[in-house]
Structure 1
Amino acid sequence: MSQMPRALAAIGLAATLWVPAHAGIFDDDEARKAILDLRAKLEASNEAHRAKQAELNQKMADQLEQLRRSLLDLNNQIEGLRGDMARMRGENEQLTRDVAELQRKQKDVTTGIDERIRKLEPVKVSLDDREFLADPEEKRLYDDAFGLIRKSDFNAAAPALASFLRRFPASGYVPSATFWLGNAQYGRREYKEAIASFRSLVASSPDHPKAPEALLAIANCQIELKDAKGARRTIGELVQQYPKSEAAQAGRERLAALK
């Protein structure tokens, strides 16, 4: 082989050997660059992901905080409603008590009014075969005075009956009260006063069932006063006016004794 061909072959061989080495260096740089770019992109992606995650976390935290506040407000509202309900329950209970108290007072007032009306409302009285109306107070006072007659407490009965007649001069009790006043006076040995009371009954109510007894009582008073003449005259009046009465029969017997 000549010198020229050997030189050319050496150059070719050198060129052949140099090209792959250069290509390998170029491939490493590209790969390194690609890796760096990939790392940069990955880091950027991770950073974006972290930022997105942080944003989501913040939003979730904000939402949770808002939810917590909403729940707290709701609890406060519920507690407020409970307080309002408790207050309203207490007010209702107090109102119920007030209504009950008002109803009780109203009932007491109504009962009191009814009681006063009953005290003022006339009552029907049946006495000595006669019927009439009398005020409750009027009836009570007469009954009290007559109760003293029943006890033979003439010292108390006489003023009680006299007071009754002054207070109720037009009462249906007047004839009976006058008759028992005369009896009380007789029991007190006030014979003249008793005669006046019995005469008042006969004069004002000659048809009263007690009128015959009143005349006989007058005769008895006259006998106590030693007025036999007057007693005979009174008994004669009794027999003449009320001939069929028991008092007239008793008067006839008394008249016989006087003779």
Structure 2
Amino acid sequence: MNLRASTFALTIALALAGFGGAAQAALFSDDEARKAILDLRAKVAQLEEAQKKQGAEQDEQLATLRRSLMDLINQNQMLRSELARLQGANEQLVRDLADTQRRLADQLQSFDGRLKPLEPQKISLDGKEFKVEPEEQRQYEAAMGLLRRGDFDDASKAFEFFLKRYSVSGYTDIVRFWLGNAQYGQRAYKEAMGTFREFLKGSPQHPRVAEALLAVANCQAETKDIKGARKTLDDLIKAHPGTEAAQAAKERRASLK
């Protein structure tokens, strides 16, 4: 019951009390009438006090709810701020990780680039595939460069040094072949013939066997072993017909006297 209702009740009660006092004057004395009014006022006061107390309790509950709501709003704002901070930190971590990965990739690529020249390289030469060390390949190519320039003395020394340093190498057979050519260029025919024969013995299936046989025949001819040269040329023509070396052997044989 609110204050308006209490006042209305009090007005009704007073009206009834007045009406009752006029109509039943004989039944109630003044003291009894005053007592009834006082009792009614006390009840109304109690009702008003109860209403005030209830209103105060409701106000307190409402204030408590408001405080709780504000706390929740503040907590929510704090959580939002923390979430934004964590998202920012996470994004920074992602960027840092990406940067680190890029740096590592660049470092690995640079390291691989420095390491690759030091690793064995796979090459294919005269139909044969094998691996060689970088220095091994460099020395072979250097010796070949000397041979191509016609520097037969230095080329012979370079090939001989190679065979001593790399006793087991994928280049061994072809190095012997080119060493024989360098010796032939020096007009060291006996040494060249020995080198070519060693090549033929060690590599009977090599694709340059026919060329080596032709070279042996030329060495024999230069040392006046015409009979031996003819036999070597005949063997070449028979074993390797249709090759350029065989055609050259026919022409060479015809020129021998």
Shorter-chain TM-score range:
0.5 to 0.7
CA distance in 1, matches of 2:46, 2:56: 15
Q: Which amino acid aligns with 1:210?
A: A
Q: Residues 38 and 125 (structure 1 numbering): CA distance in 2 closer, same or farther, change over 3 Å?
A: same
In structure 2, what is the equivalent of residue 135 of structure 1? Answer: 131
Is 1:65 the counterpart of 2:67 in the alignment? yes
Q: Which amino acid aligns with 2:63?
A: A
Shift of 1:155: 5.6
> Within 5 Å, which residues of 2 pair with 1:31-110?
36-92=38-94, 94-95=96-97
Percent identity reads 22
CA distance in 1, matches of 2:215, 2:177: 11
Give the alignment partner of residue 239 of structure 1, picking from 225, 230, 234: 230
In structure 2, what is the equivalent of residue 178 of structure 1? Answer: 179
Shift of 1:58: 0.8
Shift of 1:182: 1.0
CA distance in 2, matches of 1:149, 1:82: 74
Q: What's the TM-score once normalised by structure 2's chain length?
A: 0.57
Q: Residues 58 and 133 (structure 1 numbering): CA distance in 2 closer, same or farther, change over 3 Å?
A: closer
CA distance in 2, matches of 1:77, 1:94: 25
Q: Residues 205 and 78 (structure 1 numbering): CA distance in 2 closer, same or farther, change over 3 Å?
A: closer
Shift of 1:179: 1.8
Q: Which amino acid aligns with 1:145?
A: A
Contact 1:216 1:235 survives alignment (8 Å): no
Q: What's the TM-score once normalised by structure 1's chain length?
A: 0.56
Contact 2:155 2:182 survives alignment (8 Å): yes
Query: Cα RMSD over matched residues?
Result: 4.4
Give the alignment partner of residue 200 of structure 1, picking from 194, 203, 213: 194
> Within 5 Å, which residues of 2 pair with 1:224-235?
231=223, 233-235=224-226
Contact 2:153 2:182 survives alignment (8 Å): no
Q: Residues 74 and 202 (structure 1 numbering): CA distance in 2 closer, same or farther, change over 3 Å?
A: closer
Measured against aligned partners, the alpha-carbon deviations of 1:210-232 in whole angstroms (never above 9, x if no partner) come to 24324535765xxxxxxxxxx4x
Shift of 1:57: 0.4
Is 1:125 the counterpart of 2:119 in the alignment? no
Contact 2:176 2:199 survives alignment (8 Å): yes
CA distance in 2, matches of 1:30, 1:183: 160
Give the number of equivalent residue pairs. 208
Structure 2: where are the runs of 5+ without partners? Answer: 1-24, 238-245
Shift of 1:204: 1.8
CA distance in 1, matches of 2:72, 2:199: 99
Measured against aligned partners, the alpha-carbon deviations of 1:100-141 in whole angstroms (never above 9, x if no partner) come to 777787888899999987x355x4432xxxx54443445664
Q: Residues 202 and 77 (structure 1 numbering): CA distance in 2 closer, same or farther, change over 3 Å?
A: closer
Q: Which amino acid aligns with 1:176?
A: F
